[in-house]
Amino acid sequence: MDKKELIQKIESMGTKKIVLIFVLGIALIVFSFPSSGKKTSKSAKSTESQEDTSSTDAYVKKQEQRLMAALKQVEGVGKVKVMITLKSSKESVVNKDTPYEESTKKDEKTVKEDEETVLIDKDGEKVPYIVKEVEPEVEGVVVVAQGGGSDIINQNIVDAVSVLFHISSYKIKVLKMED
C-alpha cells in the first residue's frame, strides 16, 4: 500500500470518523496511565509492606544475635553463626465488635450476628484497634559452629535451639565451621 492509496482511504472515511478515531486514540493513551490518586495508595501499600518486611527482618536479626550470644557461652561451641527462617511475618490481631441478637416468633428462632472491626482515630485517620501482635513462628534454624564436629556439642546446640524456639530437632541443623 503506497501513500496515495492511504490518503484515498482516509479521505473516503470522512472527517467525522477520523476525528472520532483520533479522540479515541488519545483517550486510550490518557486512561492507560495510572492516576495520581492510585499512585498514592500504591505507594502507601508499598511503604506498609516495606515496614512489615523491615520489622520482620529486624525481629530475625535480633533473635539470631541473641542465639549467637547464648551459644558462644556454651563450652566447646566456639565461634558461631546462625540463620533463622520464619513461617510467616508478624501478625496483628484486631478487635472485632460482634453484636448478637436472638428472637423467637411462633416456633421460629432467628439469630443475627454481625462482625465489625473496631476503628480508632489516629492522626486523623481511622485505623483498626490492635488487641495484640503475634510474633512470627520460627520454621528452621541453621547453626554453624567451630565445635560443630562433636556429637555432644551438636546435641547441646540442637537441644538449646529446640527449647528456645519451640521447634522439633529435625528443623535444626548444626554444621562445623570452616577453619
**Strands 119-122 and 125-128: what pairing?**
antiparallel
Is the residue at 120 inside a domain?
yes
* Average pLDDT of every residue of the chain: 79
Looking at the structure of the chain, the number of domains it has is 1
Is the residue at 6 inside a domain?
no
Q: What is the pLDDT of residues 59-85, one digit of tens each?
A: 889 999 999 999 999 999 999 999 999
Is the residue at 64 inside a domain?
no
22 to 1, 2, 6, 13, 141: CA distances (angstroms): 21, 22, 16, 13, 62
CB 145 within 8 A of CB 80: yes
159 vs 42, higher pLDDT: 159
First to last CA, the chain: 75
| Collapsed DSSP state (helix, strand, coil) of residue 84 | strand
Is the residue at 109 inside a domain?
yes
